A = this chain, B = another copy of it.
Amino acid sequence: MKRNVLIIGAGGVAQVVAHKCAQHNDLLGDLHIASRTVAKCEAIIASVQAKGAMKVPGVFRAHAVDAMDSAAVAALIRDTGAQIVINVGSAFVNMYVLDACIATGAAYMDTAIHEDPAKICETPPWYGNYEWKKRDACKDAGVTAILGIGFDPGVVNVWARAAEGMLDRIDSIDIIDINAGSHGKYFATNFDPEINFREFTGTVYSWQKGGWQENRMFEVGKTWTLPVVGDQKAYLTGHDEVHSLAARYPQADVRFWMGFGDHYINVFTVLNNLGLLSEKPVRTAEGQEVIPLKVVKAVLPDPASLAPGYTGKTCIADLVKGEKDGKPAEVLIYNVADHKEAYEEVGSQGISYTAGVPPVAAAILVAQGTWDVGTMVNAEELDPKPFINLLNTMGLPSRIRDAAGDRELSF
């Protein structure tokens, strides 16, 4: 049994995490949120209070911390008595926060892979570059570290594991992420533009025929027919979960597909071809050193600002194909989320909602001991059933479509 949660980060996903922790503070205990800018944390707590989201009276405090300072994070963990850390800060801070958890014994979870600001798209498997190097340290310290437990990576990994019980053999896992919503702006990214664009400027790695296949972004596209959102064009995209699922399912093809409209692709292509998505500094005629990607980020709408006007739905799915009883079989496990409903509940749009609810479910399972495994894992290494059942009650129901029809998935 672990109690008391420290949330690292104060963006759109942190907002969701805060609201969902508050809704379950009877199980989670004291709540704390910390980021570089304490005012952002205070604004999130104010929005939690405005919604009356705290299930029972309790603590929710804001703190300022530099998450790249491990010792400062460790001190904050000790000061707050947090036994669970939900890291939804920038992808650049993961390893510093993880080190602080190893130092203090707190459970760790995040929703995206660690990145070095200066490197785009490192050698696969990506988890091998940073996180997995700390596996032994976690095990030795008995620290529970759940890597990538947002929606994708996260729920989609858990679904793949759940499909193990439905098929005798898994031949392919296609993860399809479609945002069929509309924010009404000329152009915007749904989360931090810097992280968003970095996903698409490097090599697209997929695991096919037992090896890493390399493509360029938008090189391989395919129209998928999905529940609710219908026909949607999606493109083979590099993504965290491919890099852990390939280790568990080496015999299967593991691919990630992200949906993009022609307009998004056009804007991305222009910016990328001009060099404006580069993380490497350029020098202006006046001699100022500037990182172009940071300027693009500065001119784009703040993703959090999109939430009030966002309409439409997201659909994220695992299409798992293989064999059952000697015959070809497939299951589609999926979730549909609604931007407007998400905003009404927690003040964030649907993309942040789908990323922010799962780590809170994971935190509850750690608090209850069910997932408190005392070592480092990716989501597919844990028992999927309690997690899927819990998410069904938290606003992110899993559904399944297979030969037997379309229905909620529960165990």
Tell me the A residues contacting B by CB distance below 8 Å.
Answer: 186-187, 194, 266-267, 270-271, 273-276, 278, 282-286, 288, 290-292, 294-300
A276 — which chain B residues lie within 8 A by C-beta?
276, 295-296, 299
Q: Are A284 and B274 in contact (CB under 8 A)?
A: no
Q: Which of A194, A286, A294, A295 has the most CB of B within 10 A?
A: A295
A299 — which chain B residues lie within 8 A by C-beta?
274-276, 278, 282, 292
Q: Are B297 and A274 in contact (CB under 8 A)?
A: no
Q: Are A295 and B282 in contact (CB under 8 A)?
A: yes
The residue of chain B having its C-beta at the shortest distance from the C-beta of A271 within the complex is B270
A270 — which chain B residues lie within 8 A by C-beta?
187, 266-267, 270-271
A295 — which chain B residues lie within 8 A by C-beta?
276, 282, 284, 290, 292, 295
Compute how far the CA of A300 lies from the CA of B284 in the bound complex, rounded to whole angstroms. Answer: 11
Q: How many copies make up the complex?
A: 2
Compute how far the CA of A276 lies from the CA of B278 in the bound complex, rounded to whole angstroms. Answer: 15
Compute how far the CA of A298 lies from the CA of B283 in the bound complex, rounded to whole angstroms. Answer: 6
The residue of chain B having its C-beta at the shortest distance from the C-beta of A281 within the complex is B298
* Contact among B187, B267, B274 with A300 in the assembled complex (CB-CB below 8 Å): B274
Compute how far the CA of A297 lies from the CA of B271 in the bound complex, rounded to whole angstroms. Answer: 13
Q: Are B290 and A286 in contact (CB under 8 A)?
A: no
Compute how far the CA of A291 lies from the CA of B297 in the bound complex, rounded to whole angstroms. Answer: 13
Since A186-B273, A266-B266, A290-B298 are in contact, a sample of 9 more A-B pairs with Cβ atoms closer than 8 Å, ordered by chain A residue number, is A270-B271, A274-B296, A274-B299, A284-B291, A284-B295, A285-B294, A290-B290, A292-B298, A292-B299
A298 — which chain B residues lie within 8 A by C-beta?
282-285, 290, 292
In the complex, 13 of the A-B residue pairs with CB atoms within 8 angstroms, ordered by the A residue number, are A187-B270, A187-B274, A266-B270, A270-B270, A274-B296, A274-B300, A275-B299, A285-B297, A286-B294, A290-B290, A290-B295, A292-B298, A292-B299
A278 — which chain B residues lie within 8 A by C-beta?
299
A282 — which chain B residues lie within 8 A by C-beta?
295, 298-299
A290 — which chain B residues lie within 8 A by C-beta?
288, 290, 295, 298
Compute how far the CA of A294 lies from the CA of B284 in the bound complex, rounded to whole angstroms. Answer: 6
A284 — which chain B residues lie within 8 A by C-beta?
291, 294-295, 297-298
Q: Tell me how far the C-beta of A256 lies from the nearest C-beta in chain B, rounded to whole angstroms.
A: 26
A291 — which chain B residues lie within 8 A by C-beta?
284
A300 — which chain B residues lie within 8 A by C-beta?
274
Compute how far the CA of A116 lies from the CA of B88 in the bound complex, rounded to whole angstroms. Answer: 45
A273 — which chain B residues lie within 8 A by C-beta?
186-187
